Amino acid sequence: MPELPEVETTVAGLRPVLEGQRLTLVEPRRADLRWPIPVDLRQRMTGAVVTSLGRRAKYGLVETDRGDMMIFHLGMSGRWRIDPEEIEKHDHLLLETESGHRLALNDPRRFGSLDIVRTADLANYRPFILMGPEPLGDDFTGEYLKIATRDRKAPIKQLLLDQRIVAGLGNIYVCEALHMAGISPRAQGGAISKPRYQRLVDTIKRVLIAAIAAGGSSLRDFVQPSGELGYFAKDWLVYGREGEACQCGALVQRRVDSGRSTFYCSRCQK
């Protein structure tokens, strides 16, 4: 599933061809993805000028001069294609700009979503209401994380994946950050000290920034809007490396928690 760095990379790839452009065509090619596409999406977006693009957690945001915000989620296999030579079966939304660019939102598994809200009401968009702070924001600190997990006996990995605690973190980057911070994925959240939490927060930010700079991780179907692959996967220290040697010489282990694979080193992570 595309995670925060992949969505950030996607938004950065869309910005040069969409920002400041008038949309001359907005064509949903099916009625739904993970849930129904708003029936007024075409009407509200056609003719509008895209004023900015951004991201909240794993959602991309496309703001227009009409005070509307189109919100997209890439789900398990979604990606945007810029100026495709042909329209494919799984291109479920087509956009055309006044400058002549064509964009297609492609999602074979249809676990993604499309929505539109008034920009002024964005904070009240249902998926965003209970979300925690952005992991790259100033509000995400060791002190915050210590308070947010106070008295919690759940494993720290599970807590970091809880969007109510921190928004946008996913399995890949949580595994990597916990390894780099030397914290076991099974450590109880409430038992981790504030200094260790600060080290974890610093590591999370460092991992995400590095992943964004590398264009994300190309896992399964994800590619950038330009068609290029993300190259951060070559820098994974533990994720997907079960049975391989950790930097310390011990073997990377894998366990399954709540249906997700957890990769870690029992020697490095306590």
pLDDT higher than threshold 80 for residue 235: no
What's the rounded mean pLDDT across residues 185-191? 97
The tens digit of pLDDT for each residue in 22-64 reads 999 999 999 999 999 999 999 999 999 999 999 999 999 999 9
Architecture of domain 142-264: Orthogonal Bundle (1.10)
Asked if pLDDT for residue 223 goes beyond 90, the answer is no
In whole angstroms, give the CA distance from residue 80 to residue 227.
9
What percent of the chain has pLDDT above 90? 87
Cβ-proximal residues to 177 (8 Å cutoff; 6+ apart), any chain: 160, 200, 203, 204, 207
pLDDT digits (tens, 9 = 90+) for 98-118: 999 999 999 999 999 999 999
Q: Residue 222: its pLDDT value, please?
A: 45
Q: Which residues are catalytic?
A: 2-3, 58, 260
pLDDT bracket for residue 229 (50, 70, 90): very low
Does pLDDT of 7 surpass 80? yes
What is the domain partition of the chain in residue ranges? 4-128, 142-264
Per the CB < 8 A criterion, the answer to whether 34 and 107 are in contact is no
- For residue 230, pLDDT over 60 is answered with no
Of the chain, the percentage scoring pLDDT greater than 70 comes to: 93
Please give the single-letter amino acid code of residue 74.
L
Categorize the per-residue pLDDT at 77 as very low, low, confident or very high, splitting at 50, 70 and 90.
confident
Q: Do domains 4-128 and 142-264 have the same CATH topology?
A: no
For 4-128, CATH gives: 3.20.190.10
